[in-house]
Structure 1
Amino acid sequence: MIEALYKEILARKEHPKEGSYTNYLFEKGLDKILKKVGEESTEVIIAAKNDQAELIAETSDLVYHMLVLLVERDISLEEIIAELAKREGKLSKTKERKQIDEL
């Protein structure tokens, strides 16, 4: 499903459709897309404190806007998958990570 959505977003960028929200985002540019990713990220955090249905809806919004961002920046899903594959099986040492209050 995510791959199909990515392809649809890519198609909208290559062949704009009048009245499309996706095209609206591309027309407004990177700053608008980044603003939406930020808004949706915050809404996911708030929804996680509320109920499951809201969390599902807001996560779906965030995934959509992240895919728009990837298309805008010309990053393929394959590049994301390859990056995740590089991390597979690696142990994360928490002592090497900055504490949240140090970020």
Structure 2
Amino acid sequence: MGAASHPPVPLLNPAAPNAQVLDRLWSTILARKAADPLVSHSARLLSRGVNKVAQKFGEESVECLIEAVAGNRTALIAESADVLYHLLVMWVAAGVRPEDVWLELQRREGISGITEKASRPMLLSIAETRKIP
């Protein structure tokens, strides 16, 4: 462990549902991509294209932020579930698989956030060029 590393904090209930639920949800969303948009919410979202899916993800993210700032834990949990669902819909729309993200997280594990960010190439993504300092 590096100087900035901290030991992992154990889960309060390791038997509780874990990140595998996200893999299952992603698979369900992917399967529903071909479903009738009149019957499936996921199919309806995906039929609108990645721009609309990303917009919906942004709206859900803002709702999550509002609940966090308001200190409403119950609503924050519910909105967090919405954010994760819409993130996975966005992944499906953009052709991203969960294991792609899990591998990136694994690559970063145990590295200080400051060190990891400094190691990235100097190429700026569209998102980074629009960040508020």
CA distance in 1, matches of 2:55, 2:83: 11
Match of 2:68 in 1: 48
Match of 1:32 in 2: 52
Match of 1:7 in 2: 27
CA distance in 1, matches of 2:109, 2:92: 24
- Does 1:70 find its partner at 2:66? no
Q: Which has the higher helix share?
A: 1
Larger radius of gyration: 2
Please give the root-mean-square deviation of Cα atoms over the aligned residues, in Å.
Answer: 2.0
Question: Normalization by structure 1: what TM-score?
Answer: 0.85
CA distance in 2, matches of 1:92, 1:7: 30
Match of 1:85 in 2: 106
Unaligned runs of 5+ in 1: none
The alpha-carbon distance between structure 1 residues 12 and 102, as it changes in their structure 2 partners (threshold 3 A), is: closer
CA distance in 2, matches of 1:87, 1:8: 28
- TM-superposed deviation, 1:92: 2.8
CA distance in 2, matches of 1:40, 1:65: 8
CA distance in 1, matches of 2:25, 2:113: 31
Letter of the structure 2 residue corresponding to residue 25 of structure 1: L
CA distance in 2, matches of 1:69, 1:102: 23
1:38-96 deviation line (CA, Å, top 9, x unaligned):
101101110102311100010100000000000111111110000001101112338x8
Identity %: 36
